[in-house]
Structure formats: structure tokens, C-alpha cells
A and B are shown apart, each in its own frame.
Chain A
Amino acid sequence: MSETLTIFEKGAPGRRAFACPELDVPHVDGLLPDALRRAQEPRLPEVSEPELVRHYVNLSKKNFDLDSGFYPLGSCTMKHNPRLHERVAALPGHARLHPLQSPARAQGALELMWNLERALAEIAGLPHVSLQPSAGSHGELAGVLLTRAFHADRGDTRTKVLTPDTAHGTNPATVTMAGYEVVKLGTNPDGGIDLDDLRAKADEDVACLMLTNPNTLGVFDHNIEEIAEIVHGVGATVYYDGANLNAIMGISRPGDMGFDIVHFNLHKSFTQPHGGGGPGSGPIAVADHIEPFLPRPVITRDQDGRFDLDDDRPKSIGKLRGFQGNYGCFVRSYAYIRSLGAEGLKDASETAVLNANYLLARLKALGVADKLPLAFGELCMHEFVLSGAPMKRDLQIRTLDLAKRLLDHGFHPPTVYFPLLVDEALLIEPTETETRETLDAFAEAIADILREAKEDPSIAREAPHTTPVRRLDEAGAAKRPVIRQALD
């Protein structure tokens, strides 16, 4: 089997796929002064269309993907991407619409966005929505900047944002970008926020508390109302990281729990395909007191049902990006919401929670729990965290090795080593997409790997054995980074 070649190492001089139109206007010399002109062509590939197609199709076959198999990545909500969505997103009326088209000639797009906003508002329990942020962490930045604007408007300067120690890394990174200091909150033995720690740290220098509920441990915090009260009591905002929304659609709403600002990940609960790392979309929903600060433009509807974009928003934080946001993602998510409807969305969350609890129970029944115990609680929401610490101690294989061996079984591994609070963490989220048979097979595979490790731990430690490449030298890649094809 020969070395993989990049597209830059293929082709030959003169080959091409693109046929440039003939020059149909009179040629004029000297339009660009030489000093401004490019002297050397960029060394892009020279390949024919068939070579191009073969190269990328063959590359694609080295990827595991959600259409091919089970993908229980905790916190990622890898649910099925319905193919209708690609068809509707490709309709030229959506796909070939210019963002600066006059609103009078983009009424379909504005109505779609308006409807999506209303649906997200209903799901969140917060009335005002902006679809602008490009991804979840962009939505987080929007939320913390909105908080900053809210306090500034009241003449208040605060310097801190509270986040639990179980928070996803984007939360503290966002806090720093927004000019605040991160203050960590402890987790209590039930997996929720340590209320005493919260009371001690919640003061008038705190701008915001960032939380997700259920959290990254898969635990729904019973004290959520009290938490919101404590934070509101010092005049701070409560921000909901919507990464785990799949557990609660139609069942509980962040607005009703007391949150002021919520972000959604359309590429999680709302089936925007993940694309190998994006695109995503991170809309936000906010309470009345935050509404004036929303990014601009805001979509409006007049009494005749005509839609428009309103840029005249004096208190707005401004813009986070160009134009209105990732409309292609809105089309897909809107199609999903219209397909499922109120009952379907609730059903999705109920089934997601059922599946997670069932998988947890199957693992227990197969005797896996003493090597991979549940880190918190007894039941779980849409995902659960196991600790691989006993497995490491007793069988001499780590969570990493278990994950790599799962690849040989044809499954994508769960999320590993997150959240940081749990030693040798394994975060498992099956989603509502999966059948009972798949969950059974996955649980069997884990049990098999543990049995095998008892006999011979080296198999898992050297796994994977059957994938296109085996374990890669990540240390070497970090020490001497080679991040482009050399062409000299």
C-alpha cells in the first residue's frame, strides 16, 4: 500500500478542470501597475476533473461518519442528518440569494428566519432571538458581550464571570475574550453546582454565571432556581450554554429555569450536519432586559406581514460577523423543526434520555460498572460520564485504549478525558437516533474489550489495528509542526 499523496503531489503541468471563458471584451494593457501584480503563480494543483474526483472520493473513504455508524460523542449530539435538508438548502431561491438583496425581494428568507426565531424562542422560553452568531462559542461570546453591555448601560463595571469546573473549554476562553476574569465554582457530590461556593463567590463584581443544564456530567441541577435567584440577587445575568439542549426540548425550558441568555447549537440538537468541523450556527435567545443590546440587524415584521431588517438599534452591541448569519444552517434547522413539530421535538428529547438510560443500564447488566463506574448519580439525562480509573488500575488499559479498541469494533468512541473533573472520563451520548439493537451491540463491544484486556491488555494498548492508519505520533507533530505540503 503506497504512501498517501496530497492533491499537490498529483497531476501534471497543463492539466486542468476549469475552462476559462474566452476574453469577450477588448484586451487593454497596463490595467495594473507591475508593482501591484503577482509575479509568481500560486502553486495550486494541476489536475483534471477525474483526478480531482478520484482524489477526494478516495480520501472520503478514510473517514468514519455518522451515516455509516454509531457516534456516541458526548456533548456533540450526533443525531441523524435528514437528507431532505440538503435538498431544500440547495433550492436556488435559498442557495443563490445574495445577503444584500433588498429585503423587499428576500421576503421568503426573512420569513424563514422570523419563524425560526419564534420557534427557538418557544423552545428556550425566552422571547427575543438573534440568529447571527456563527457557532456555539460565537453565541457564548455574544452572550457575555450582551451582559457587558447590559451592565455598562446601568453604569456598572464588573470584572468577573463564574463558571463551574465542569464547563466546556469554550466557556472560560470566551470569558477572557470578553475582557472578564474567570472564577471557578466547585461541583457538589450530586454533580451540581456547590451552592455554598456559589454564595461565597457571587458578589457585585460578578457580571454573569455561565452554566449548562443538564451539565457536562449529564446531571440536571436540582437547585437551578435557587442558583438563578442567588445570581440575580447580586444583579448578575445567568447564561445558558445550550450544548445539552437535546435532553430537554419540550420538557423544560431555560427561560423558565431563570436563565436570561441562551445559546443554541443548530449543529447539535437541530441537525445541521457537522461537516467534519463545521459549519455550525449559534443563535441566542434573551429576556426582555437584554433585548435592546442584541446584535444588529434585527428582523422585524409589520402589521401587513412584511419583513424587514432593522439596523437602527442604538444600544446594540453591533455586529459579530458579516451579514445575518449562517442562513444555510437556518434552512436545514427550520426544515427539521417543521418536520418534527411540537410533539416530535419533545419525543426526540424523551427518546434521547431513554436511550442514554437504557445504554447505562445495559452496561451495568453486562458487569461493566465495576471497571467503568458512573461518575455521578444513578439515572442520567441525555448523556452520562463513566470513569475509567478502576479499569486503568485493574486491567492496565486507559480510557484512551478503550476508545482506540472501539474503532476496531466499528464504532466511533465516546468523548474522552472530558469533563476534566472525572478521572479517565468517558462521556457517552447515544441520541434518539439509535435503535435498541445498536445500543446493545455497543454495550457488548465495551464488555468484550474489558474481557479481552483481562487476558491481554496489549491488544487495546496497541489499538486500533484495522483502521486506515494506526496510532499516530502526535508528539512529533507538535514538536516539529509540518502544516503544509512542501513544494520545493
Chain B
Amino acid sequence: MADASYPEDLLYHPEHDWVRIDGDTATFGITWFAQDALGEVVFIDPPEVGTRVTKDEPYAEVESVKAVSDVIAPLSGEIVEVNTALADKPETINDDPYGEGWLVRVKLSDDGEKDGLMDAAAYSASLS
């Protein structure tokens, strides 16, 4: 994805992760800023379904040729689905970070936590 974009319908964590909430489940991924800083993603070490994730703690690693980055959980819960298509095409994270490049789906454990996240405008402003 060539140009920076931060969709309005998502919430954002300062460690460059986005959340799409759908009732009591949410989808997590990394933002355009994160994938741009990493460069072409070559490998993702995903967690297993059933793992608990904790807000502000790392739950996975993404690697480019020259860098490794922890992926931080924006909210807490239990992983119910992992995007296994990324094993063969990790570069999807760069091409479509908010769509096909999603990382995990999580059953949320704490409804109040999302109030601590930023909206697109606030996140975008925080980057400059």
C-alpha cells in the first residue's frame, strides 16, 4: 500500500496496532506506519488459537529482512482465529494492512479497555 492511510472505522494503539470491533470479538493488525517502517514483511511467527493476549503486551513477532518487531495487543482476550494465509504470503501485511493483512481475531475479555484507544484522527496526529 503506497500511501499512508488510517481508516476511520478502526481504533488505534500507540504501538501501531489497529482494532476492528465486532460485538464481543475484535480483529487486530498493524498499521500502515508499522508496515512502512518494517519494510517488506518476510515472516510472521503467529500465536496459537486459544492463547490469551493481554493489552499492551506482545503476542506475535513480524520480521522483515533486516528487522524484527514485537506486535503489541491493543486489547485483552483469547485468540479464536489466526490468519494462516500469511504463512505463504506475509507481504499481504504490507499490501493490505487493514484488510487481508489482518493478524488475529480475539474474543474480548474487558469491554472498558477500548476507551483507552485512539481514533484515526488522534493516531494520525500522534505520528507527526
Complex: A in contact with B (CB within 8 Å) = yes
Contact-residue bracket for chain B: 10 to 19
Contact string, B44-84, partner A, CB cutoff 8 A, digits 1/0? 00000000000000000001111000000000000000000
Contacts of A5 in B (CB 8 A): none
Instruction: Flag whether A100 is at the interface (Cβ < 8 A).
Output: no
CA distance A479 to B64 in the complex (A): 9
Q: Which residue of B42, B43, B91 has the most chain A CB atoms within 10 A of its CB atom?
A: B42
Closest Cβ neighbor of A478 among chain B residues: B42
The residue among A417, A474, A475 with the most chain B CB atoms within 10 A of its own CB is A475
Collect the chain A residues with CB atoms within 8 Å of residue B65's CB.
474-475, 478
Question: Which chain B residues border A475 with CB–CB below 8 Å?
Answer: 39-40, 42, 64-65, 91
Q: Are B66 and A479 in contact (CB under 8 A)?
A: no
Give a binary string over B82-112; 1 marks a CB under 8 Å from any A CB, 0 the rest. Answer: 0000000011000000000000000000000
Bound-state CA distance A417–B43 (Å) is: 21
A337 CA / B60 CA spacing, docked (Å)? 50
Residues in A whose Cβ lies below 8 Å from that of B64? 475
**Smallest Cβ-Cβ distance to B66: which chain A residue:** A417
Residues of A within 8 A of B43 (CB): 478-479
Question: Main SS of the interface on chain B?
Answer: loop
Q: Which residues of A contact B63 (CB under 8 A)?
A: 478
Complex interface residues of chain A between 456 and 485 (CB less than 8 A to chain B): 474-475, 478-479
Complex Cα gap A417–B63 (Å): 17
> For A417, what are the chain B residues with a Cβ–Cβ distance below 8 Å?
66
Interface string of A417-455 (1 = CB under 8 A from B): 100000000000000000000000000000000000000
Minimum C-beta distance from B121 to chain A (A): 26
Chain A min CB distance to B68 (Å): 11
Q: Which residue of B has the minimal Cβ distance to A417?
A: B66
Residue of A at shortest CB range from B42? A478
Residue in chain A with minimal CB distance to B40 = A475
**Within the assembled complex, what's the spacing in Å between the Cα atoms of A475 and B39?**
9
In the bound assembly, the distance between CA atoms of A478 and B67 in angstroms comes to: 12
What is the CB-to-nearest-CB distance from B87 to chain A, in angstroms, rounded to a whole number?
10
CB distance from A399 to the nearest CB of B (A): 12
Shortest distance between the CB of A401 and any CB in chain B (Å): 15
Q: Measured between alpha carbons, how far is A471 from B65 in the docked complex, in Å?
A: 14
Measured between beta carbons, the chain B residues less than 8 angstroms from A479 are 42-43, 90-91
Q: Chain A 133-174 against B: per-residue CB contact (8 Å), 1 yes, 0 no?
A: 000000000000000000000000000000000000000000
B23 to chain A, nearest CB (A): 35
**How far, in whole Å, are A216 and B71 apart by their CA atoms in the complex?**
29
A475 CA to B64 CA in the complex, in Å?
7
Residues in A neighbouring B90, C-beta threshold 8 A? 479
| A478 vs B40: C-alpha distance when bound (angstroms) | 10
- Give the distance in Å from the alpha carbon of A479 to the alpha carbon of B63 in the complex: 10
B63 CB to closest chain A CB (Å) equals 7
| List of B residues within 8 angstroms of A478 by Cβ | 42-43, 63, 65
The residue on A at minimum CB distance from B94 is A475
Give the chain A neighbours of B42 by CB distance below 8 A.
Answer: 475, 478-479
Instruction: Give chain A residues whose Cβ lies under 8 Å from the Cβ of B66.
Output: 417
Q: Which of A417, A474, A478 has the most CB of B within 10 A?
A: A478
- Chain B contacts for A474, CB-based, 8 A: 65
What string of 1s and 0s marks CB contacts (under 8 Å) between B28-42 and chain A? 000000000001101
How close is A182's CB to chain B, nearest CB, in angstroms? 15
Considering only residues 42-70 of chain A, those with a C-beta below 8 Å from chain B are none
Give Cα distance in the complex from A475 to B90, angstroms.
Answer: 10
Cα distance A417–B67 when bound, in Å? 11
Q: Taking the nearest CB of chain A, how far is it from the CB of B69, in angstroms?
A: 14
Q: In chain A between 395 and 424, which residues have their CB closer than 8 angstroms to a CB of chain B?
A: 417
Residues in A lying within 8 Å of B, measured CB to CB = 417, 474-475, 478-479
What are 16 A-B pairs at a CB distance below 8 A?
A417-B66, A474-B65, A475-B39, A475-B40, A475-B42, A475-B64, A475-B65, A475-B91, A478-B42, A478-B43, A478-B63, A478-B65, A479-B42, A479-B43, A479-B90, A479-B91
Apart from A417-B66, A475-B64, A475-B65: 13 A-B pairs, beta carbons within 8 A? A474-B65, A475-B39, A475-B40, A475-B42, A475-B91, A478-B42, A478-B43, A478-B63, A478-B65, A479-B42, A479-B43, A479-B90, A479-B91
Closest 7 CB pairs between A and B?
Answer: A478-B42, A475-B40, A474-B65, A479-B42, A475-B42, A478-B65, A475-B65
